[in-house]
Structure 1
Amino acid sequence: MKTIEVTGLTKDYGNGKGIFDVSFSVDKGEVVGFLGANGAGKTSTIRHLMGFSKPESGKASIMGKDCFKDASLIQENIGYLPGEIAFMDNMTGHEFIKFMADMKKIKDSSMADRLIKYLELDTSVRIKKMSKGMKQKLGIVIAFMQDAPILILDEPTSGLDPLMQNKFVELIKKSKENGKTILMSSHIFEEVENTCDRIVMIKNGKIVADRDLEIIRNDRNKHYEIIFAEKNDAEIFKKRYPESKIDENRIIMTGKDDINRVIKDISEYKIEDITIRHQTLEEVFMKYYGGEK
């Protein structure tokens, strides 16, 4: 039995908006990155998993239970961070954490205390006076403090500075070590690459890719950027590699060309600079999105 299973999930909001025949699953202890442009259907799918929306057809289940019918039972085992968090602005961070802990029947506050310290969050501040980053930290504390076996996180590092983003990555890694099952939507590709086992991509409400991250790493094209001393040499070189792009004396090419062959061909010319790297996850994502952001 899959920990999270989505089968043929459909909800049509009209004008091409919604989710259509969405199917994917997450195994116990797996970390899956859920990628897609704004409006692609990530949040809508997550809302179905949380039992907030009833599908027109298809099914979402967690631990074998129907996400809509058994929502309250399922939510007891999920740490959830929504994309748009509803706060009680007149409360302090401390008061809100206590309010949520009481609602979730969390008796032990030690996990919340550790998270507050780790994220360097001042909980004495009233929520209405908190910055976006502080509010996001507060949301992370709420999601993780019940030490739930399943985490569903919608854009978890939105508004965090790079230092806190790195701390969050370490928090996910630790959670993974502890056997938690995590579904995380994110726009930060480095974050996904550093934490996830698999990525599921959604475009226009439909799944366009579901791939193991290790396979993507091994299958990525190489990206070459070569600066020739002479513009004429760049033009001659381009004829050997017609798929490459040329800009003055700079050649940019992406592919699975044998690196030894490329270097041998380059050695015939005077080169000012060369950069060779693998495609980034973002570049792979853009390939599936056909240039759309």
Structure 2
Amino acid sequence: MGVLKVTNLTKKYGNFTALSKVNFEVKKGEVYGFIGPNGAGKTTAIRVLLGILKATEGSATIFGKDAWNDAVEIHKNIAYVPGDVNLWPNLTGGEVIDLFVRLRGTNNINRREELIKKFDLDPTKKCRTYSKGNRQKVALIAAFASDADLYILDEPTSGLDPLMERKFQECVMKAKKAGKSILLSSHILSEVEKLCDKVSIIKEGQIIESGTLSELRHLTRINIELETKKTVLNLEGVKGVHDLVKKDNVIYFQVDSENLGEVIKYLGQFDVVRLKSAPPTLEDLFMRHYEGAGGVN
């Protein structure tokens, strides 16, 4: 069942199109990655979902309700973490967490304390004294302490150190196990790769690829590291082989997924000593789409 559904979502500012016919769906118990560089349209889409911006065309529904018309009702069951958290400077971190949790109508003291300890936050300090990372922790604790059905996370680990990133990932997996849905917008590809069931790649306001990670990997190449007893001949002429590099007695190359069987069969005649294959990373796929487009910014 779709918890969040975006259909042909378009957002224009005068002549500028920030989003063009964007489509994706987040199901119950699913972690959905929404990836692209800064300025690709991720935050604009999230603002439409939160009812902050009105779509020019298309629709966005959460729990079957319209994101713009039913925003107040929807917000009772969602938790949102932005990439740059602004807090009330004279309140303590603990007071802000309590305020956010109460706004959502939940008050699980044990969960709150457990998360404060997990993220190593001093809740007695005033928010004006917090670093960016600590402000981010306040928002994450408030989000995961509430009993939301959908978490909308927009660059949520911005400013966190690697240890705290791991704690965040644990919270996402726990929420998923509890049947919650998560929309994770990020440009940190390793994070998305660890957590997400499905991803959509957005470029200049348009979705250019969507699917599970295994589906997307069919669209790119496998990395091969090869060592043989005999000299390998004419490998560059074999169908599906790309970017061949020889270093000493080791050959590195890429092969299209659909040609892997034939390539391995061809290599058998050269007495393979070692063959190491690695599936393409999300980064490989991502960079393929952004190469020749002015790079990622």
**What is the CA–CA distance in structure 1 between the aligned matches of 2:23 and 2:112, rounded to whole Å?**
34
Q: What is aligned with 1:283?
A: 284
Aligned to 2:103: 103
What residue is the counterpart of 2:11 in the other structure?
A: 11
Cα pair distance change 1:68/1:243, threshold 3 Å:
same
> In structure 2, the residue corresponding to 1:244 is in which secondary structure?
strand
Quick one: which of 236, 243, 263 aligns to 1:238? 236
Bigger Cα displacement from structure 2, 42-51 vs 183-192: 183-192
Instruction: Write the mapping of 1:74-85 to structure 2, written as runs, cut at 5 A.
Output: 74-85=74-85
Corresponding residue for 1:51? 51
Mapping for residues 160-239 of structure 1, pairs under 5 Å: 160-217=160-217, 221-225=221-225, 237-239=235-237
Listed as ranges, the matches of 1:133-172 within 5 Å are 133-172=133-172
| Shift in Å, 1:129 | 2.0
Q: Is the 8 A contact 2:228 2:270 kept in 1?
A: no
How many Å separate the matches in 1 of 2:76 and 2:28?
17
State the secondary structure of the residue aligned to 1:101: helix
Q: Which amino acid aligns with 1:279?
A: P
Q: In the TM superposition, what is the alpha-carbon distance from 1:65 to its structure 2 partner? A: 0.9
Equivalent residue of 2:37, what SS? coil
Distance 1:67 1:200 in 2: 20
Matches within 5 A, 1:264-275: 265=267, 268=270, 275=276
CA drift at 1:100 = 2.3
Residues 1:258 and 1:104: Cα distance change in structure 2 (over 3 Å): closer
CA contact 1:111–1:147 (8 Å) conserved in 2: no
Q: TM-score, normalised by structure 1?
A: 0.86
Q: Distance in 2 between matches of 1:289 and 1:228?
A: 35
Partner residue of 2:33? 33
Indicate if the aligned counterparts of 1:8 and 1:59 stay in contact, CA closer than 8 A.
yes
Kindly indicate whether the alpha-carbon contact (under 8 Å) linking 1:90 and 1:128 is maintained by their aligned counterparts in 2: yes
User: For the structure 1 residues 248 and 221, does the alpha-carbon distance in structure 2 shift closer, same or farther, using more than 3 Å as the test?
Assistant: closer
Q: CA 1:265–1:203 in structure 2 vs 1: closer, same or farther (change >3 Å)?
A: same
Q: What root-mean-square deviation, in Å, do the aligned CA atoms of Structure 1 and Structure 2 show? A: 2.9
Change (3 A) 1:177 1:218: farther
Q: Tell me what 1:258 maps to.
A: 260
1:227-270 CA deviation, whole Å, 9 max, x = no partner? 899xxx78964355795335574643242343674486387499
In the TM superposition, what is the alpha-carbon distance from 1:89 to its structure 2 partner? Answer: 2.1
Matched with 1:121 is: 121
Q: How many residues align?
A: 290
CA distance in 2, matches of 1:167, 1:88: 25
Letter in 1 for 2:179: G
Structure 2 Cα separation of the partners of residues 83 and 99 of structure 1? 20
Deviation at 1:149, TM superposition (A): 1.0
CA distance in 2, matches of 1:20, 1:98: 38
Code of the residue aligned with 2:79 in structure 1: it is G
Deviation at 1:194, TM superposition (A): 1.9
Instruction: Describe the superposition over 1:107-165 as per-residue Cα deviations: whole angstroms up to 9, x where unpaired.
Output: 33332222111112121222222222212111101212211111111011112111221
Give the match's secondary structure for 1:86.
coil
In structure 2, how many angstroms separate the alpha carbons of the residues matched to 1:96 and 1:170?
23
Distance 1:153 1:57 in 2: 24
CA distance in 2, matches of 1:122, 1:260: 59
Counterpart Cα distance in 1 of 2:255 and 2:130: 45
Gaps of 5+ in 2: none
